Each structure stands twice: as structure tokens, then as C-alpha cells.
Structure 1
Amino acid sequence: MTQDEKLDYLIDFFKKDSIEYKDMEVTKGNRRMVLRSLMNVRIPKSIPNNVLKIHDDYLQEEAREKGIVELDEIPTVRESFQSKSEYADKISIWQGDITRLEVDAIVNAANSQMLGCFVPCHKCIDNAIHSSAGIELREECNHYMKKIGKYKSYEEPTGSAIITSAYNLPCKHVIHTVGPIVGYKLTNDLRNDLRSCYESCLKIASENGVRSIAFCCISTGEFNFPNDEAAKIAVETVITFLREEAGKIDRVIFNVFKDLDKEIYELNLH
């Protein structure tokens, strides 16, 4: 099958799999968006193995088309701008799509339901990671939530982290963490919650043999944590961890998307 044929096949399957969207009209120009939307809104459940193989083949080829970025292509901050920061040879800043990174683990800024974003084609990182990994990621997260909650209502605590497989992403694992939501004002409790996110991710990474980890800018998007404060906490927490557990992690990458965040991280790691 060509990529186009796989795309048509998957759209047809997911439409038939959905009561609400089975009669959705699809045009040639919006097919990829339709597939992503159908995957986004789908409740966690398995699919036949033959369909899963086509689903996986399609997403893996899509990852190759986007361009996979290997770890040795990402310079450290010492190499990038002669940073004098502590552990400058173990820290990187990389701007771009985190789903392209071929590292041991990438960090997902999840919500407390821990099932990914159900809003079709939403621009949050949770949606992007689940869309690129594929439906198996939601299924694994759901299995974890049911096991922990013993089939009762359960929400993952703020500041905690879990690790899953990465499925069709180039990385090996996804570490999901629930960041704090900033409402009326930023408080010390919220700062401590964000610090816990980074600590929890680094701890679970070291416990699972993760040697390279890429952090997104946790809580700075939909959760409204101020970018400059978030970067300061992130850098301080990572350096403290490297100081105490230097042999457990070889590389920490601060993945940024906006120019503003790139500038902020560079200032914190000058």
C-alpha cells in the first residue's frame, strides 16, 4: 500500500468504528486532518491486528517524512554558544517538534486524566504526541489509569510522572507528567508543583535506564505558567539532579517551540 492508500484505509476504518462520525464527509485536501481528528476523539480500545499494522506503518513513514533528529545532531549548550553553565556538556536547547526526536524519552505535558487530548487537532503538545505515537499510547495510559484507580474515578496527581512505550514515535519512551495550572496568580505552591514535575520525570527516567531525555516547556501553554519562571525552575531542577545523580543521565534537552522560550533558556544557561 502507498501512504495515500493507507490513509484512505485508516479513515474508512475509524469512521466505521465511530457512531458519531461514520457519515463524515472527507475531501482530498483534509484527509490527514480527518484521520488525526478521528484518532483524537476515539475512546481507548483495541483494533484488529491487520488494521494496527497499517496504522503503525503509516505513522512510522510519516515520522520519517517529517525528519527524525538523532541525539548526535543536537549540540550541547557548550557547543552552541560556549555556555559556562554547570553541566553545559550535558544540557541542550533544541527548537522544533519534539515528536521528531530520537532520544530515550520525551516528556509529555499531560492532564490529570492521563489519556491524551480528545479535542480534534488541538495544538497542545499532549495532542501532538498522542497523534504521532498512535492509538496504542492512549490504550496503555488507560490500562494504567484503570489499574491504579481500580476501575473507579482517578486523576493523576500534579507533579507526578509515569513512563510508557513510545509506539510510533522515534523515541523509546514517553514520560507523562501533570503540570500545575496557574489561575489568578502564581504561588510558591505552584512553583513547587512544577519543580516536582521535573524531579519526578528525572527520577522515573533514571529508574528505567533512560540516558537522554527531552523536556517540553511544562505548563507554559494551556496551563498559563509564566515562561521565564518555568524555565528558571526547569534549569535549576535539572542542574541539581545532575549534581546529585551525574552518572545516571547523559543528556537533558530543553525542547522549545517559540523563539521567546529559546531566548529565555539561553539566558538561564549563559
Structure 2
Amino acid sequence: MTTITLVQGDITRQSADAVVNAANSSLLGGGGVDGAIHRRGGPAILAECRKLRAGHYGKGLPTGRAVATTAGDLDARWVIHTVGPRYAREEDRSELLASCYRESLRVADELGARTVAFPAVSAGIYGWPMDDAARIAVETVRATETDVEEIRFVLFDERAYDAFAGQLG
């Protein structure tokens, strides 16, 4: 049985087997959650991301997919990088956003992770409306078969926390 919990705070301060990074396709760091994870996790994460780019992910990680690296200096074993879609009114990309959560849990299962901390993927700089991002995230993790024991959504502010709390009912 998987437990879903909510925390308001900084995902880089979480103790978990795996921390999910809302990455960009380059895997080389960026703003928001991505930049924070790379800064706090240190150079080991970037080094492994560069190896991924030099190999199988030469063109970058596709939207909706996930891949793991070391967690470097974070209080975790792994960082699972996933690339969320940019929000677009004219195109329904919700399946790509749901795929980020499913693929991250698939990678977590392959790694043997029992606790996974997720941010609100795509709800920051990628512009996804928070209430809809929360709905997709919660519905997807509830519907995904996984051996992960605790899925923790780590929300940066009260607005995000409230949106996710509303979905958990």
C-alpha cells in the first residue's frame, strides 16, 4: 500500500530514497527546482547528467520520460530527472505530464526506492495551472502500480500545498 503525503517546503532538504527533479531536456541544470537540486546536490549530479548526454540521451531527455543519477550531496540515494511539458492552452499535453509521474515511479521501482519526493512538475516556469497540475499528479500516482511505499509531494508554497491537499480530499 502506497501512502501519499504532502509537505510544504524545499525539496532539496528532503530525506528520501529518491528526489524527483523537474528537469529540462538538456539535463544540465536550469532554474526553479532543477537549479536548486543541481546547486545543493553538487557537481556529482551534473557529472552523471553529462555522461547521459554523451551516451543514450545525446539529444536530451524527451518530455514525459525519466532517468536517474546519483543524488550527490542531497539526503537521498538518487535523483530521478523528468522533463515536464510546457503548458499550452491550444494543445492538451496532460498525458505527457501524467507520463512524468508514471515514468518516475517506474524508474524508482527499478532502483528499489521506497520513498520518493516529487515537486509539482510543470507548475512553475512551464506555466501549468497549479490546480490542474495537482489533479493530474494525484490521479496519476494513485492509478500507477508501484512498490514505492511513500510518495511525498513537496510543495514550495501554501498555494501549491492547498491545491494538492484539495486533490487528496
| TM-score (norm. length: structure 2) | 0.95
More RCO (CA 8 Å, sep 6+)? 2
1:48 maps to: none
Offset of residue 201 of structure 1: 0.2
Offset of residue 155 of structure 1: 2.1
Matches within 5 A, 1:85-124: 90-117=3-30, 122=31, 124=32
The superposition leaves residues 26-58 of structure 1 with CA deviations (integer Å, 9 ceiling, x where unpaired) of xxxxxxxxxxxxxxxxxxxxxxxxxxxxxxxxx
Given candidates 131, 136, 161, the residue that maps to 1:262 is: 161
Offset of residue 186 of structure 1: 5.6
Offset of residue 171 of structure 1: 1.0
Given candidates 161, 173, 186, the residue that maps to 2:66 is: 161
1:234 maps to: 137
Structure 1 residues 226, 186: CA separation in 2 closer, same or farther (over 3 Å shift)? farther
RMSD: 1.4
1:137 maps to: 45
> Which letter maps to 2:116?
I
1:206 maps to: 109
1:21 maps to: none
In 2, are the aligned partners of 1:179 and 1:193 still within 8 Å (CA)?
yes
Aligned residue for 1:102, secondary structure, equals: coil
Structure 1 residues 186, 236: CA separation in 2 closer, same or farther (over 3 Å shift)? farther
- What percent of counterpart residues are identical? 38
Aligned residue for 1:144, secondary structure, equals: helix
| TM-score (norm. length: structure 1) | 0.60
Structure 1 residues 186, 169: CA separation in 2 closer, same or farther (over 3 Å shift)? farther
Greater Rg by CA: 1
- What is the rounded CA distance, in whole Å, between the counterparts of 2:22 and 2:72 in structure 1? 18
1:221 maps to: 124
Aligned residues: 169
Structure with the larger strand share: 2
- What is the rounded CA distance, in whole Å, between the counterparts of 1:253 and 1:187 in structure 2? 29
In 1, are the aligned partners of 2:61 and 2:83 still within 8 Å (CA)?
yes
In 1, are the aligned partners of 2:44 and 2:70 still within 8 Å (CA)?
no
Structure 1 residues 223, 99: CA separation in 2 closer, same or farther (over 3 Å shift)? same
Aligned residue for 2:5, secondary structure, equals: strand
